[in-house]
Chains A and B, each alone.
Chain A
Amino acid sequence: MNTAARSSAAAPSGHTHAELVLETVNLDRTFQNGPERIHAVSDVSFRVQRGEFTAIVGPSGSGKTTLLNLLGGLDSPSDGHVRILGTDLSALKASERVDFRLHNIGFVFQAYNLIPVLSARENVEFTMLLQGVDASERHRRSSELLEAVGLSSEAERRPTKLSGGQQQRVAVARALASKPAFVLADEPTANLDSTSASALLDIMARLNEREGTTFLFSTHDQRVIDRARRVVTLVDGRIDSDDRRDPDTAGTAKTNPA
């Protein structure tokens, strides 16, 4: 099995030939909470193609975080399967799964979670370092990504010197640095004010359009939901609806300088 499968994030927009990056089959995750059995995720089956820009929505407690943890290989399902680029995560040993995450999945967290002792640039380079990317390539790519998230001038700052919105943009750059098959973002805008949230969404949408980066993000913010091209709604851990929208009706065009 190829634990180091990489995707090319450089597929130009508009050429999204249907390549399956993620598939879940009858995914279940239950928690035993004392005598109580909580079905946080129940019978979830869906597929994500390369280049999709998907929101997972649902009220608090509907299972968004649990689902994203399963998709990211951080958690193991009670039943069912997660396949990423054809690799079944449950077939991987714990150490292989860490390596698989490193090469195939980008993470953005609600609380940014940058490494506080590293500068913005070092944070972006972190996963590349783990991957063993050489210094000049790291520098080139981190510059490119910081530029893409509009933080070139803040590259040498530590996270504590950045605003929440800036930190989350660094987090997006960090998630992309390893050239993952897709980026998982759990409520990435929940801690941001609406301006910062909107700016972050602009950046994510632009990266999606231009570089074909696949995004899956959870949210319960209607303004964020409006920007998605596909909306998967969870209710009590089950998929209640799965709507695709015409990309042209998504509100990204107006901020796209191209």
Chain B
Amino acid sequence: MKMLLTIAWRNVWRNRTRSLVVMVALVLGLWAGNFMMGYAFGMYDQRLANALEYELAHAQIHHPDFRVEQQPELLIPESRARLQALQDKSGVRGVSGRLVANAMITASRGVGGVQVMGVDPEAEAGVSRIPASVDTGTFLSEDKKHRIVLGHALAKKLRLNLGSKVVLKFQNAAGDFVDTRFKVGGIYRSPNSTFDERMVYVRQTELAPLVLGGIQNNAGLHEIAVLLDDPGEAMAFAEGENRQYPDSVTEDWKTLSPELDLMIESTDQYFTIFLGIIMLAVAFGVINTMLMAVLDRVREIGVLMALGMNRMKVFVLVVLETVFLMLAAAPVGLLLAWGTLTWFGQHGLDLGSLSDAYAMYGLDPVVYPHLDGSYYLRNLVLLLITALVSALFPAWTALRLDPVEAIRKI
């Protein structure tokens, strides 16, 4: 065995250029595999953070049927008392009561469907970053009446500017359609352009008479968004609320947005496919190089066999050469991956040209990749297996050589 190791090791250094090519392939494979994963994880985290900070908060409370039926009369029982109780609850950082209504928005340049959020501006700023993301105008200042705040995506679509007039058309609780004029008082930009195109904000006190018209409870709420001190407590918080208030439903962010999980899952699949492609490239590199190494040494392998080296050992010899190549490449690849991930993890990686596509999925163009140690190990093992499996064919080719033919070869 020691002799096989010696020969294999020296063979690795015989054709330096060729060995270097395989090693570079292995290094790049390892680096790319790890970096892609780190990038994906950076993206997940950011998507999650964005979704929680801009869209979902940590938990939401609704009437049990509201999320399905979206009818204006489906209010949270004892809305105001509930809001008050939540504000006083420990572990709760922010609470915002909302009215939620679907509406048609009509501008001079177009029409669209939107979701209107009737909010208390200050409370909303305590659970969501939307109020702080208004970069044109203000988020529903006290002194101006009938203002609407919408996203840049919608403003662009309907060609709206600050001060533009729009009409919102709702169906109120009594089933009547009501039209109301609003003036664009602010335009926000969230990381998610889909969200920006759909969510508009108005003052709750102005929305209430419009959507709750025809029912008694003018102070009712459709939704209470809750921001906790610890997002990890969201599920426990929801369970506790549900036990205490069986007439309403409290859902944590995971339950609220199964599509978030789905997106993360599909991204996971996407990157798994990507990893597969990288491994395939590594496999072709190894197969190609080791096959050349074998074919270059046909006569030599024939001699080894003639002298009495059995086929198993010839096979092992070729596999060992691949293993040595990997052992030389693996530390370099891992170090490179760790280095770049650490650097970009701190400084961020800006794929500016992709920012439009990213915004559709609620992603910032700058991603901060990061990767757990266990994934480095996993990718290393994956690469080692790929390289080993790829070595099998060249090794098998070597093992099949006929010594008589091989030695005859000039």
Contact = CB atoms under 8 A, between A and B. Distances in A.
Contacts of A99: 308, 310
B308 A117 contact: no
Contacts, number: 61
Contact of A98 (B6, B14, B305): B305
- The binding surface of chain B is classed by DSSP as helix
Interface residues of B, number: 22
Interface stretch (A47-55, A100-108, A234-242, A245-253): A100-108
B189 interface: no
Given A74-B403, A126-B3, A129-B3, A115 B308 contact: no
A122 B14 CA distance: 17
Contact of A115 (B304, B305, B313): B304
A116 interface: yes
A31 to B, nearest CB: 11
B311 A95 contact: yes
Contacts of A111: 299
Interface string B4-31: 0011001100100000000000000000
B307 A126 contact: yes
Given A98-B311, A103-B308, A178-B308, A117 B404 contact: no
B306 A72 contact: yes
Contacts of A98: 305, 308-311
A117 B299 CA distance: 14
A116 B299 CA distance: 12
B306 A74 contact: yes
A103 B11 CA distance: 26
Contacts of B303: 109, 113, 115
A174 B407 CA distance: 17
Given A95-B311, A101-B307, A178-B308, A109 B14 contact: no
B304 A69 contact: no
B19 to A, nearest CB: 13
Nearest to B308: A102
B305 to A, nearest CB: 7
Interface string B390-410: 000000000000011001100
A113 B311 contact: no
A207 to B, nearest CB: 18
B10 A75 contact: no
B300 interface: yes
B7 A117 contact: yes
A113 B305 contact: no
A20 interface: no
Nearest to A118: B7
B225 to A, nearest CB: 71
Contacts of A130: 3, 307-309, 313
Nearest to A100: B308
A101 B308 contact: yes
A143 B260 CA distance: 74
Given A115-B304, A127-B308, A178-B308, A75 B404 contact: yes
A74 to B, nearest CB: 5
12 contacts: A65-B408, A74-B404, A98-B310, A101-B307, A107-B306, A113-B300, A116-B300, A117-B14, A118-B6, A126-B3, A127-B308, A129-B3
Given A117-B6, A118-B6, A127-B308, 8 more contacts: A74-B404, A98-B308, A99-B310, A101-B307, A102-B308, A109-B303, A111-B299, A115-B303
The 8 nearest A-B residue pairs measured at CB: A102-B308, A117-B10, A113-B303, A129-B3, A101-B308, A98-B310, A74-B404, A75-B404
